[in-house]
């Protein structure tokens, strides 16, 4: 209530009666109570993360992996399209000619700190070598571990091979 | 109970038996209060969480029911850090000064017509005296901490509690006039005979004022300027840790329960049943519903405790000057006006108290 003396201003007193009724009936407070009471009975959407996980799309872009052919030969032909397209410049590739005359990578490194998980490398790859898995729970404890070497990437690909192919199969209709 | 003790120890005199009974009663009340606080903290966090569209504590035990037990154990084993420049004696005295009146006030609170620790004549005055005693604990805690935030909190708490004490006292004057007694048991007896005789109908403004002042008295939201996490971190108990802090917590929740049970006793007919007029239910299975019992009192108390939590989850903190305006310029005039109205009701022979 504004701090005014209404004794010699009857009109303002009348105007103020509306305000008086509104505050004394506590109608606004009751409205507020109503909001919180409704919230009390609303279904909670919190997911208990480590035990319960939200469903992931087959297109989810997580940890990167390098794939092999079924005969065990690595797919990567060191064309460097992925490193060219990478907006964060996270991929470093060095290549050499192998004994059988094919071009293969001698060094394939991804800096996990630079990677923004955009998935351009996967789109650019002509031989479907570099792929993104739907693994998002991984960590490193030392700074140097952020560099994922070729061996590490191939190992990830070997480990989650079936999962990756399943997700690709699910998504194949739409790509 | 008296017979049981006399049969067990026949050599005791009557006074000794009474002493034993009151000690047992005191232990029952204190223990149940402390247990109550443990669960109250859990329910407060849970209900607040639900009102905030969260889940609340759910890690310790099924649905998190052991959360407050874990918190208690943690608090009790924590080190009590006494600030270097604090007055050690006062610093440790303050939490006790807050806790002792909070528990002592329960001596005159009747749970049902039989269960009462001390049946003193001036029960209402005793309650008013003890609830205002708590402010010393708060001031002392703020002063002895030798910290500016604690001191600010204590100053705020002192001004606030003094302001709302008056409105509270005036609201109780109305109850006193209607009930015609200072004994809490007799105030409840004056409300017997159906919901229409409960004092919250003729004394509705006083009922609201009493509860609001009660919330302010216990320094609960939205009147918690004494704690004010945002501006003065935790107010008067900012320097306390461990068991000393736990005592502040305990006192706050016991005071909350006290205000709730007193509101139920003064305005909602205490242990009287909601259905006491439904004589249809007599001699049926639902006979227990119309009989006055402690469960009705507990249900009403729990309702007000829920309102305490509800208030906390709903409203933002009052600004300090608004708080003072509400206390001095709104609540006190309302109580004075309504006491006048009540006098008129007495003169004109309207109101439930004339039928008795």
Beta-carbon contacts of residue B85 (< 8 Å; ≥ 6 apart): B146
- Is residue A92 in some structural domain? yes
pLDDT in tens, B206-225: 999 999 998 888 888 888 77
Is the ipTM here above 0.85?
no
> Is residue A52 in a domain?
no
The SS3 assignment for B349 reads coil
CATH number of domain containing A168: 3.30.70.3270
Per the model's pLDDT, the better-predicted residue between A125 and B194 turns out to be A125
For residue A84, what pLDDT band results from cuts at 50, 70 and 90? very high
Q: Omega into B222 within 30° of 0, i.e. cis? A: yes
Q: Provide the pLDDT for residue B242.
A: 83
Tell me the whole-structure pTM to 2 decimals: 0.80
* Mean pLDDT on B250-267: 90
Identify whether A102 is part of a domain.
yes
A91 in any annotated domain: yes
Report the candidate in B78, B18, B11, B68 with the shortest Cα–Cα distance to residue B42.
B68
DSSP 3-state of A48: coil
The parent domain of residue A166 ranges over 64-174
What is the predicted pLDDT for the residue at A85?
Answer: 92
Exposure on the CB side of residue B279, measured as CA atoms within 13 A: 1
Average pLDDT, chain B: 84
A36 belongs to a structural domain: yes
Closest CA to B125 of B47, B74, B178, B183: B183
Predicted confidence (pLDDT) at residue A7 exceeds the cutoff of 60: no
Q: How far is CA A58 from the centre of its chain?
A: 13
For the segment B302-309, the average pLDDT, to the nearest whole number, is 91
- Summarize the confidence of residues B258-286 as an average pLDDT: 80
Residues of B in contact with A33 (CB under 8 A): 310, 314
Tell me which residue in A36, A42, A46 faces B310 most closely, judged by beta carbons: A36
Window 30-49 of A, Cβ < 8 Å to B: 32-33, 35-37, 39-40, 42, 44-46, 48
Determine the pLDDT at residue B260.
Answer: 92
- DSSP-derived letter for residue A74 is B
Tens-digit pLDDT profile for residues B167-178: 888 888 888 888
Q: What is the pLDDT confidence band of residue B281, given thresholds at 50, 70 and 90?
A: low
Nearest of B142, B95, B135 to residue B238 by alpha carbon: B142
For the cut 70, the answer to whether the pLDDT of residue A174 exceeds it is yes
Interface test with A, best of B44, B313, B318 (most A CBs within 10 A): B313
- Mind listing the pLDDT tens digit for each residue in B57-112? 888 888 888 888 888 888 889 888 888 887 888 888 888 888 899 888 888 888 87
Same domain, A85 and A153: yes
Q: Round the CA-based radius of gyration of chain B to a whole number and report it.
A: 22
Q: What is the DSSP letter of A108?
A: E
Query: Which two three-digit tokens encode residue A127?
Result: 């031989």
Q: What is the model's pLDDT at position B356? A: 46
Is A8 a residue whose pLDDT tops 70?
A: no
Residues A23 and A98 in one domain: no
My answer on whether A36 and A77 are in the same domain is no
Same domain, A17 and A74: no
pLDDT tens for A132-146 read 888 888 888 999 888
CB contact under 8 A, B314 and A46: no
Mean pLDDT of chain A, nearest integer: 86
Measured torsion, CA atoms of residues B111, B115, B117, B118, in degrees rounded to the nearest 10 = 90
The answer on A162 and A98 residing in a single domain is yes
CB spacing of B315 vs A29 below 8 angstroms: yes
Average pLDDT over residues B131-157: 84
Q: Measure CB to CB from residue B51 to each of A26, A39, A45 and give the nearest one.
A: A39
pLDDT (tens digit per residue) in A150-169: 888 999 888 988 888 888 88
Q: Where are the domains of chain B?
A: 1-77, 85-354
In terms of pLDDT, which residue wins out, A76 or B229?
A76
Residues A165 and A98 in one domain: yes
For residue B273, give the nearest of B287, B260, B290, B288 by alpha carbon. B290
Matching residue, tokens 């609001």? B212
Hey, CA dihedral for A50, A51, A52, A56, is it positive or negative?
Answer: positive
Q: Does the beta-carbon distance from A44 to B54 stay under 8 Å?
A: yes
Residue A110, SS3 per DSSP: strand
Contact A146, A112 (CB under 8 A): yes
Q: Domain for residue A50, yes or no?
A: no
Report the Cα–Cα distance between both ends of chain B, in Å, rounded: 33
- Whether residue A57 lies inside any domain: the answer is no
DSSP assignment letter at B328:
I
Residue of A37, A46, A53 whose CA lies nearest to B310: A37
The answer to whether residue A168 sits within a structural domain is yes
Average pLDDT over residues A28-34: 89
Closest C-alpha to B82, from B169, B150, B165: B150
Pairwise CB contact (< 8 Å): A48 & B51: no
């Amino acid at each position: 209530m504004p701090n005014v003396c209404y004794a010699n201003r009857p009109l303002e007193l009348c105007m103020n009666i509306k305000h008086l009724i509104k505050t004394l009936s506590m109608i606004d407070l009751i409205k507020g109570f109503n909001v919180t009471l409704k919230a009390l009975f609303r279904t909670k959407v919190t997911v208990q993360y480590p035990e319960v996980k939200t469903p992931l799309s087959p297109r989810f872009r997580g940890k990167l992996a390098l794939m092999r052919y079924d005969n065990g030969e690595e797919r990567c032909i060191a064309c460097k399209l992925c490193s060219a397209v990478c907006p964060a410049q996270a991929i470093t590739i060095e290549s050499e000619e192998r004994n059988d005359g094919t071009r293969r990578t001698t060094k394939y490194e991804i800096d996990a700190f630079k990677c923004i998980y955009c998935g351009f490398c996967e789109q650019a790859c002509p031989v479907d070598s570099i792929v993104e898995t739907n693994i998002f729970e991984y960590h490193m404890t030392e700074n140097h571990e952020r560099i994922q070497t070729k061996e590490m990437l191939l190992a990830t690909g070997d480990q989650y091979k079936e999962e990756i192919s399943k997700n690709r199969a699910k998504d194949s209709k739409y790509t | 109970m008296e017979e049981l003790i006399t049969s067990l120890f026949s050599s005791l005199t009557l006074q000794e038996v009474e002493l034993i009974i009151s000690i047992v009663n005191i232990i029952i009340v204190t223990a149940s209060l402390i247990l109550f606080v443990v669960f109250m903290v859990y329910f407060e966090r849970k209900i607040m969480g639900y009102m905030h569209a969260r889940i609340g504590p759910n890690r310790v035990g099924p649905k998190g029911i052991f959360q407050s037990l874990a918190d208690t154990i943690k608090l009790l084993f924590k080190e009590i850090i006494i600030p270097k420049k604090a007055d050690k004696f006062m610093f440790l005295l303050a939490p006790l000064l807050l806790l002792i009146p909070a528990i002592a006030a329960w001596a005159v609170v009747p749970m049902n017509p039989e269960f009462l620790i001390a049946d003193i004549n001036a029960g209402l005055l005793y309650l008013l005296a003890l609830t205002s005693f708590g402010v010393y604990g708060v001031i002392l805690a703020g002063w002895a901490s030798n910290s500016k935030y604690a001191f600010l909190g204590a100053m705020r708490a002192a001004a606030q509690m003094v302001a709302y004490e008056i409105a509270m006292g005036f609201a109780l004057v109305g109850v006193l006039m209607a009930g015609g007694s200072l004994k809490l048991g007799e105030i409840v007896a004056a409300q017997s005979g159906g919901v229409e005789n409960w004092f919250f109908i003729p004394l509705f403004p006083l009922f609201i004022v009493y509860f609001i002042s009660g919330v302010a008295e216990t320094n609960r939201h939205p009147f918690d300027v004494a704690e004010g996490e945002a501006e003065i971190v935790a107010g008067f108990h900012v320097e306390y840790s461990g068991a000393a802090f736990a005592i502040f917590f305990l006192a706050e929740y016991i005071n909350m329960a006290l205000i709730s049970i007193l509101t139920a006793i003064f305005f909602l007919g205490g242990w009287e049943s909601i259905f006491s007029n439904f004589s249809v239910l007599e001699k049926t299975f639902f006979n227990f519903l119309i009989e006055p019992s402690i469960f009705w009192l507990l249900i009403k108390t729990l309702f007000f405790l829920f309102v305490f939590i509800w208030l906390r989850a709903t409203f933002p903190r009052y600004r300090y000057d608004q708080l003072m305006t509400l206390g001095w310029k709104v609540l006190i005039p309302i109580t004075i006006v309504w006491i006048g109205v009540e006098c008129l009701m007495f003169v004109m022979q309207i109101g439930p108290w004339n039928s008795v």
